[in-house]
Amino acid sequence: MNESLPIIQINLALDVIGPALIVFVIIGMYVGHFTGNVMTGRARKRFKLWQWPEHVELPSLVRRSMHLMLVGSMIMLIVSGMYIRFPFELPFGNRTTIKYVHYVAAFAVTAIIFIRIGYAFLHKSKDYREFALTKKDMMAFVPTLKYYAFMAKSKPHVATYNPMQKASYGLMVPTLIFIQIATGLALLFSPQLLGWLASSVGGLALARVYVRIVHYFVTWVVGAFMCAHIYLAITEDLPALLFFFFGIKPHDLEERRNKSGEGDRAENTNTEAAHDAHHEG
């Protein structure tokens, strides 16, 4: 009883801390940071004047496909995981069905991650180098941070990804995903993988509880990162986001907007001319 009480308290605390983290990120970025974008004129520059970063080279179809499959699998994984944690009556299936959905999504994420790593190192593009932090990145880290904190008007362009993106995509995200893969497999194959921990904490059941706590907490952290990632993708490089998900090239999108703008201006000119003619008549 004495051992179970702290575990219950930890789980209850995570049920509060996790959602609070998501809310904090959403309010802090989608409301607070975007307000900063509006006040500094960045929002007008991006969304009205359509001034976005230029792309010399766009990601290949293979890279985009892997990204889309990873995003879809991770969303399915998080949603099914949260249902397992907080079950409710469904119009179809049950908790067991959702567990199998969770397992399928988990293996999909694992497979895509390893395929992506293999692609990064074995494909002729060797794009793993795009995520490697260099000395120049270290020098640009603080200026980049100042830009996002509205303490600088622009951020240094060192490579395809800025230092904060490299630290996120190359270090933080892989670490979080590998923690999830390791803890998820440990929960699925507990007798085979948790024997070393069971002998230290007082049994396999207790070992599973501790591993599940880590798995659950990291789920919230990954969810918070995804919320921040979506916000930055929209506000910092919307054309790239549209290309990733819909295949619309930034150049084609800009041409469409220019033609639309010319059509609107011509329509306004004709309306004004007709209005003047009416008054003269």
117-172: pLDDT as tens digits: 999 999 998 889 989 899 999 999 999 999 999 999 988 888 888 999 999 998 89
Say what the pLDDT of residue 5 is. 62
The pLDDT of 58-70, averaged and rounded, is 92
Return all residues near 17 (Cβ < 8 A) that are at least 6 apart. 217, 220
The two three-digit tokens of residue 197, written as one number: 């921990």
pLDDT band for position 7 (50/70/90)?
Answer: confident
Interval 200-228: pLDDT, tens? 888 999 999 999 999 999 999 999 999 99
**Chain-wide mean pLDDT for the chain?**
88
Say what the pLDDT of residue 56 is. 75
**Amino acid in the structure at residue 145:** L
- Asked if 114 and 69 count as a contact pair (C-beta separation under 8 A), the reply is no
Q: What percent of the chain has pLDDT over 70?
A: 88
52 vs 63: CA distance, rounded Å: 22
198 vs 201: CA distance, rounded Å: 5
Return all residues near 175 (Cβ < 8 A) that are at least 6 apart. none
- Asked if 220 and 188 count as a contact pair (C-beta separation under 8 A), the reply is no
33 vs 232: CA distance, rounded Å: 10
Map out the domains of the chain as residue ranges.
Answer: 4-60+125-248, 253-281
Which letter does DSSP use for residue 186 in this model? H
Q: Which residue has the tokens 């295949």?
A: 247
Say what the pLDDT of residue 257 is. 66
Coil, strand or helix: which one is 37? helix
96 vs 105: CA distance, rounded Å: 14
Say what the pLDDT of residue 4 is. 61
207 vs 184: CA distance, rounded Å: 13
Considering just the CA atoms, what is the radius of gyration of the chain in Å? 24
The pLDDT of 13-23, averaged and rounded, is 97
The pLDDT of 251-262, averaged and rounded, is 66
Say what the pLDDT of residue 53 is. 87
